[in-house]
Amino acid sequence: MKEDNRAKTLGELKRTYPMEKLSRSVKDEARENLIAKLRSGKRLFPGVQSYDETVIPSLVNAILARHNFILLGLRGQAKSRILRQLTELLDEAIPALPTEIRDNPLRPLSAEALRLLEEKGDDTPIVWIGRDERYVEKLATPDTTVADILGDIDPIKAAKRGSGLSDLEAVHYGLLPRANRGIFGINEVADLAPKVQVALFNILQEGDVQIRGYPVRLQLDVWVAFTANPQDYTARGKIVTPLKDRIGSEIRTHYPKTLEEGLSITQQEAWTAREEGIYVPSYVSEASEAVAFVAREDKRVDKTSGVSQRLSISMIELVTSNAERRALKYGDRPVARPVDLYSALPAITGKIELEYEGELQGADRVAKDLLLKAFGMAYGERSRGLQTDPITDYFAAGNLLSLPEGPAKSVLKEIEKVPGLLAAAKKLESDTSPEALVAAGEFILEGLSGRRKIARGEESYSAPVETRERGWGN
């Protein structure tokens, strides 16, 4: 229905709008729209990847069952994005009375709505609420109060109306009643104080809320969805048992299971499309993505905290930026190289929580070790067909190689000194520009280092960015 043709009064609404739609609950509305999407083959939750065979089927089942649900997962697993995309299962717009809690014209709840209908009848004004306006989200914090969630009696409202505190129109509604006829999302629900969690019992079980012990009992129409970290949810016991019992479905999210899935998410989310048209070779992207995978398995990294997908996104953005900086400084073609991953260390150290052993070694040391492992992991997928024996023999003979920070042509001259390295780089990289061949040559050296075939000079880690030299040897 076009906006201009929408009913503006209750009388018009009765004549032009299907009344059966007003009798549906928000869960029924979402269920019907989901069924229509499934029948038409439309993609559910666009932009959410790696969940097609795991999370999304469980989520579909929960919606079909009209469940309130909780998404359990570590940080950076698209939990909030999923909650916000639930609005795509709602109608484009619904009619409502112009009240704080968007009363259903056929099922008014608030005292204000009842007064409006009594005073104006079919002339009662109607407003239209878009699907995006029907989502209310709260990030749970320990200082969140029951009044924040449910509401309270507002003495100022009561004074202005000249009535006592028992006046139902003196209620200041909290976030949950304001989500009436919509979706209420609570992120990190385990951080709510127990008494606030207890206040949610009625809305989840009986569908009503009570405010401050006054005679206010609202049969709200709300679809409630939660997120939480599994550690908070189980080990610390921060969600009270009766609340867990009232949540219909518990759905576990997860990190990408393959490097390809991770790369697909990172490429979707990362900002790498710079004005200069930077070329990021696929093997550089794979090495960057592999950092998160090896970090999730490293015993020095806290598993319960998780390694967010945002680490990979931030890394590739910094890799691209360093390639951009180098191109601007030396006039080279902007090509991302393995060395750029070392300039992305801040994206690693800022996003991992370390266990005791890792704390002793320090975040920088752990991050550099993770990079080396990541190069080894990515190189293993790319090493087939590469003749690297002449390269390892060269270093086994006691030779060293230092690659300076400088124009690509000068770096390429150093690479040419290693027997077989340039030939291997040309086999790995189809682009024959000096910048691309340097990137391929560096990747082979870093990969061999990650596979412990050659040694990487420690001094290269500690040198300033502008004077950094990378050294390889036996």
**Structural domain of 396:** 259-473
Final residue before a domain boundary, out of 252, 271, 299: 252
Number of domains into which the chain is organized: 2
- Separation between Cα atoms, residue 10 and residue 371, nearest integer Å: 64
Do 308 and 229 share a structural domain? no
Judging by DSSP bridges, how do beta strands 455-456 and 470-473 pair with one another? antiparallel
Among 174, 184, 180, residue whose Cα is nearest residue 225: 184
Q: Where are the beta strands (DSSP E) in 160-216?
A: 171-173, 182-187, 208-210
Final residue before a domain boundary, out of 199, 218, 252: 252
Do 293 and 226 share a structural domain? no
Final residue before a domain boundary, out of 230, 252, 274: 252
Among 221, 150, 149, residue whose Cα is nearest residue 182: 221
Do 371 and 308 share a structural domain? yes
Render each residue's pLDDT in the chain as its tens digit; 474 residues.
Answer: 566 689 999 999 999 999 899 999 999 999 999 999 999 999 999 999 999 999 999 999 999 999 999 999 999 999 999 999 999 999 999 999 999 899 999 999 888 899 899 999 999 999 999 999 999 999 998 899 988 998 887 666 655 655 554 556 667 888 999 999 999 999 999 999 999 999 898 888 877 777 765 656 788 999 999 999 887 655 444 888 889 899 999 999 999 999 999 999 999 999 998 887 899 999 999 999 999 999 999 999 998 889 999 999 999 999 999 999 999 999 999 999 999 999 999 999 989 999 988 899 999 999 999 999 999 999 988 888 899 999 999 988 888 888 888 899 999 999 999 999 999 999 999 999 999 999 999 999 999 999 999 988 654 322 233 334 455 565
Do 372 and 348 share a structural domain? yes
Do 297 and 171 share a structural domain? no
pTM for this model (two decimals) = 0.87
Do 316 and 219 share a structural domain? no
Do 165 and 307 share a structural domain? no
Do 358 and 449 share a structural domain? yes
Do 265 and 189 share a structural domain? no
Do 339 and 443 share a structural domain? yes
Q: Judge whether 327 and 348 are in contact, CB under 8 Å.
A: no
- Separation between Cα atoms, residue 336 and residue 279, nearest integer Å: 6
Do 248 and 105 share a structural domain? yes
Do 155 and 32 share a structural domain? yes
The pair of structure tokens assigned to 165 is 């505190």
